[in-house]
Amino acid sequence: MSARVAIVTGGAGGLGRTIGEVLHADGFRVALLDLKGAPEVAGELGVLGVPVDVTDEESVRTALARVEQEWGRVDALVNNAGVEPPHTLETVDPATWAQTLDVNLAGPALMIKNCIPLFRRAGGGRIVNIGSRTWLGGGASAAYAAAKAGLVGLTRQAARELGPLGVTVNVVAPSFLRTPLNATKGDPEFVEAFAERFAAASPLGRLVEPREVAHAVAFLLSEPAGAITGETLHVTAGTHLAPYIH
């Protein structure tokens, strides 16, 4: 059988690129889909790079058609694209709510919807949605925490609906990672101080590395994980167990 095909959205970003590298090393044919920089990052990794806006269904259809044209099939979808525009409940405006919910929640739903015909043709499939430990206890901006909690609900519903097609659907929920997403949150000293408090609050006394999240994704896409569906796997160095970190 030819190598399985995996799509990673947000594939030009910090975590997405690492997931792409790990899946490529695992023998997947990898397509990195991103709003910005996909062809460049994919070129560096020797994989396929395709522009997409996950909030735009026409763009999603065009990107999936490109992957199908290249390899004729899709076996795995990693919904990793995400944004976290900074706000508090006092400062948030409707546009920020809409953008955060669109990219982090409606985007994965649109990707899943449009992958269903491909999974039908492949006789099954795997979906991993990248969540966040903030779905459990907050500790992020409100729209982001709400979107990530919604993603768990979407995952469980999708696991029910797509199970009969042989598709598993799970969440991998990381904690703080040193990626560009956090660089947009404020000045570097603030982010560094947050990272230190975070590591101190971990039962393991450390942060999580992006490659550790990527390997959790790879496990859920592997053959032995085929009976796991509707699950949320926390990759947090235990910080989802710890007291609230802010």
Ligand X SMILES: NC(=O)c1ccc[n+]([C@@H]2O[C@H](COP(=O)([O-])OP(=O)(O)OC[C@H]3O[C@@H](n4cnc5c(N)ncnc54)[C@H](O)[C@@H]3O)[C@@H](O)[C@H]2O)c1
As annotated, the active-site residues are 144
- C-beta closer to ligand X: residue 30 or 52: 52
Q: What is the Cα–Cα distance from 89 to 158, expressed in whole angstroms?
A: 30
What φ, ψ does residue 184 adopt, rounded to 5°?
A: -85, -5
Specify the residue, 167 or 245, whose C-beta has the smaller distance to ligand X: 245
Our CB check for ligand X shows the closer of 51 and 166 to be 51
Instruction: Tell me whether strands 5-9 and 232-235 are parallel, antiparallel or unpaired.
Output: unpaired
Closest CB 168 distance from ligand X, rounded Å: 19
Nearer to ligand X (CB atom), residue 37 or residue 166: 37
Rounded alpha-carbon distances, angstroms, from residue 23 to 14, 90, 216, 246: 15, 41, 11, 33
- Helices and strands counted in the chain (H then E): 10, 7
- Kindly tell me the burial class for residue 78, based on how many C-beta atoms sit within 10 Å of its own C-beta (0-12, 13-18, 19 or more): buried
Name the minimum Å distance from CB 182 to ligand X.
5
In whole angstroms, how far apart are CA 42 and each of 7, 25, 60, 111, 173?
Answer: 12, 14, 18, 20, 24
By C-beta, is 86 or 180 nearer to ligand X?
180
Task: Tell the smallest beta-carbon distance from residue 98 to ligand X (Å).
Answer: 12
- Taking the complex as a whole, the smallest distance from the CB of residue 25 to ligand X amounts, in Å, to 18
Instruction: Please give the Cα distance from 62 to 55 (Å, whole number).
Output: 13
DSSP code, position 73: -
CB of 69 to ligand X, least distance (A): 19
Question: What's the closest the beta carbon of residue 108 comes to ligand X, in angstroms?
Answer: 9
Chain residues in the site for ligand X (CB under 6 A):
9-10, 12-16, 34-36, 52-55, 80-83, 103, 107, 130, 132, 174, 176-177, 179-182
One-letter amino acid identity for 106? A
Closest CA to 147 of 77, 246, 81: 81
Report the residue number whose CB is nearest to ligand X. 13
**Alpha-carbon distance 185 to 85, whole Å?**
8
Q: Which is nearer to ligand X, 57 or 166 (CB)?
A: 57
